[in-house]
Copies of this chain bind each other. A is one copy, B any other.
Amino acid sequence: LPAGEQRTAIPGVATGLAVTGAGGDVLYVEASLADAETGGTGLTLTGQLGDVMKESARIALSYLRSRGAELELPVGDLKERGVHVHVPAGAVPKDGPSAGVTMTTALASLLSGRLVRSDVAMTGEVSLTGRVLPIGGVKQKLLAAHRAGITTVVIPQRNEPDLDDVPGEILAQLDVHPVSSVREVLELALEPATAPLASAA
């Protein structure tokens, strides 16, 4: 299996896009729920996340705690089961708000049991009401997505003008979706509920 398919082969993992010192890169957001019988509670964040990125995770979780029922997600699972959000690689510092949609998608995948499509990558800040706010580095992120074999990219609506900076031959090979709400992201990125669950790594 290609790397992306392996990484997203269980619910709770979504593919994001980041700007690094050396251009753009794909990153994976991994989310887990503790078995209720283990007594794990609360929210654990790892991956050397900076303050802004930690806040993104808290926003993503609060969005699901307050709006998840509307999205038909079994949010009651959050009550007695600890949530952990991790972003490998473990030793690389990461920051910024643009992983907000990826974190929300990973958590929605985890709650719903629906896999995240392995050919979809996403970037976008998320607000507490589920709006998708603009981010930076669209060009580098799309180049990175293309290099990684991604075919569908979700970006914030307000970043659509930045597509002008992306080489035409790259854009031609990508299905780019500008969106303004998290609902749209979830509709695009989550596999249907009937997809068979892959076995865990």
Contact = CB atoms under 8 A, between A and B. Distances in A.
B65 A38 contact: yes
A89 B78 contact: no
Interface stretch (A126-134, A146-154, A169-177, A188-196): A126-134
A182 interface: yes
Contact of A127 (B30, B38, B78): B30
B200 A67 contact: yes
A75 B81 CA distance: 13
A66 B32 contact: yes
A182 to B, nearest CB: 7
Nearest to A127: B88
Interface in A31-50: 31-35, 37-40, 44, 46-48
Contacts of A35: 65-66, 68-69, 75
B44 A62 contact: yes
Contacts of A125: 88-91
Interface stretch (A5-13, A17-25, A113-121, A137-145): A5-13
Interface in A46-61: 46-48, 51-52, 55-56, 58-59, 61
Given A38-B68, A38-B76, A70-B200, A62 B82 contact: yes
Contacts of A58: 44, 46, 84
Given A62-B40, A63-B32, A100-B90, A129 B12 contact: yes
B97 A52 contact: no
Contacts of A62: 32, 34, 40, 44, 82, 84, 86
B133 A88 contact: yes
